[in-house]
Amino acid sequence: MQEVIEKINCPSLRELGNRLSINYSTLKNYFIEERYLSESLFNDLCLISKLDKSKMNIEYLDSNWGQIKGGRKSKR
């Protein structure tokens, strides 16, 4: 996320949120890696900052990843 901010000459995370119409607290949670980015938001960020996705080490999670994790936790 920091690379995106630098590439598009954005002064702050708050300004990036304004430009993308994303709530600041949500964007902040993505930035500190408390939440995972959606694939569409990731693609949008790569597109506007012209970053090459193929050079990044990314891991895609299944769409039901949270449901699986919650199901496993409740079995205990």
Rounded CA-CA distance 39/63 in Å is: 10
pTM of the model: 0.75
The pLDDT score that the predictor gives to residue 75 is: 62
CA distances to 15, 20, 22, 39, 57 from 54, in Å? 27, 23, 25, 14, 8
Domain borders along the chain are: 2-74
pLDDT above 70 for 76: no
Residue that is written with structure tokens 């090459």 in the block: 52
If residue 67 lies in a helix (H) or strand (E), which one and from where to where? helix 65-74
The pLDDT score that the predictor gives to residue 67 is: 79
More confidently predicted of 18 and 73? 18
- Residues 28-66: pLDDT tens digits? 999 999 998 889 999 999 999 999 988 888 888 888 877
CB contact at 8 A, 44 and 3: no
